[in-house]
Amino acid sequence: MPSSPIRKLVPYAEKAKREGKKIYHLNIGQPDIETPQVALDAIKNIDLKVIEYSHSAGFESYRRKLAEYYCKNHIAVNQEQIIITTGGSEALLIGMMSCLDPGDEIIIPEPFYANYMSFAMSAGANVIPVKTSIDDGFSLPAIEEFEKAITSRTRAVLISNPGNPTGRVYTLQELEQLRTFVLKHDLYLFADEVYREFCYDGLEFFSAMQFEGIENNVILIDSVSKRYSMCGARIGALITRNKAVIDTALKFAQARLSPPTFGQIAGEAALSTDDAYFEHVIQEYVSRRNVLVEGLNSIPGVFCPMPSGAFYAMARLPIYNSDHFCQWLLESFSFEGATIMLAPATGFYASSGAGNDEVRIGYVLNVEDLEKSIEILREALRVYPNPQLITL
């Protein structure tokens, strides 16, 4: 089981804090955006005498309201096609265990969210990566590259849209080609769409569940964590029109009894969040993105493509070992009493040696903190010893 590239450096950050350093956390997708008040009020006003189990699929009232939310977003589903999970992570884990047998293969464009590898390993499946490139903003690879990855054990494709860690929003044309590929080989298509609200520059989000002809192939993964800045609520959802998958997934859901009661209450309430909340949040993220990308590209030797969604950017740095560099930032460097915590990109690749000169940066801090972080990175790269071959 691989270590999380996002969390494995936490002990070094804690030590740095004990030494008096201020840490700017750009390593993790934990926004500083306030949770909608309607969700907080629902928690504060709970009047329960007993904290009971819910149905293993989640409270019916929540699933009904969630189905209404999807229908408003042009995804026609009902509450029987939704299983509430303990975060989007459990939705992916249950989905993979429901659809993949040990030794089966799942194709994923890389770089990808690091825990995809952990979920696949837990299900006994093998990840087959298809490379994307920072030079073209991590566009979806040509379908010919997916075809090359097909074997007799291929069972599924997994995409993140908008992307984590790349911030890529796939075009309708890209998704249509993927639809044709999935239909041709009769594969499952896991669509991680937890950042669906966060598309910028006028881009329109298109869900994999809006396609016709692959209704039984698509398994949608969703979560309240990023949409409502409720990461700690640990509430996600697995949504599919495939009844056999739902029936199987429910067995796994029954094995863990039920999703969290308080999180479901908050999640259900959050569905009443006013549209003005998202308008404000999107404006804030666009401002942060622009400051970050402009600042990164002003540093000699740094390249960062403009992400079009989510709140992450992948940057190529003039370094040779991103794991060493990110650890060095915490252990051996500070600028005016502060340093930054980044996520080394190596953990977002399955291909050996990939990501050694890349890092993932979350623009989850306010503009002032991002500007300071860029200043720190500029100075760090100026003094980093950077031998071509570094071993930890």
Q: What is the pLDDT of residues 331-347, one digit of tens each?
A: 999 999 999 999 999 99
Whether 10-34+276-383 shares its CATH topology with 38-270 is answered no
pLDDT, tens only, 150-180: 999 999 999 999 999 999 999 999 999 999 9
Instruction: Report angle CA 123, 124, 130 to the nearest 5 degrees.
Output: 95
The C-alpha atoms of residue 167 and residue 361 are separated, in whole angstroms, by 10
Per-residue confidence (pLDDT) for residue 3, from 0 to 100? 74
pLDDT at res. 387 = 59
Residue 338: CB atoms within 10 Å = 17
Across 130-138, average pLDDT:
97
User: Which pLDDT band, with edges at 50, 70 and 90, does 388 fall under?
Assistant: low
Q: Strands 236-239, 343-344: parallel, antiparallel or unpaired by DSSP?
A: unpaired
| DSSP β-bridge partners for residue 23 | 339
Say if residue 296's pLDDT is above 70. yes
Q: Is 309 helix (H, G, I), strand (E, B) or coil?
A: strand
Confidence of residue 392 (pLDDT cuts 50, 70, 90): very low
Give residue limits of the domains in the chain.
Answer: 10-34+276-383, 38-270
Contact 227, 342 (CB under 8 A): no
The helix or strand, by DSSP H or E, that contains position 22, with its residue range, turns out to be strand 22-25
Given a cut of 70, whether residue 212 has pLDDT beyond it is yes
- pLDDT for 7 beyond 70: yes
Q: What is the pLDDT of residue 115?
A: 94
* Residues 159/178, Cβ–Cβ less than 8 Å: yes
User: What mean pLDDT is reported for the chain?
Assistant: 95
The per-residue pLDDT for range 105-114, each reduced to its tens digit, is 999 999 999 9
Mean pLDDT over 348-369 rounds to 95
- The separation between the first and the last C-alpha atoms of the chain, rounded to the nearest angstrom, is 19
CATH topology of domain 38-270: Aspartate Aminotransferase; domain 2 (3.40.640)
Q: State how far Cα 106 lies from the chain centre.
A: 17
Q: Could you report the per-residue pLDDT of 44-86, keeping only the tens digit for each?
A: 999 999 999 999 999 999 999 999 999 999 999 999 999 999 9
Residue 2 has a pLDDT of 75
In CATH, what is the architecture of 10-34+276-383? Alpha-Beta Complex (3.90)
- Give the global pTM: 0.94
Which amino acid belongs to residue 370?
Answer: L
Which pLDDT score is estimated for 8?
A: 81
Per-residue pLDDT, 386:
66
Q: What are the residues whose beta carbons fall under 8 Å from the beta carbon of 298, sequence distance 6 or more?
A: 374
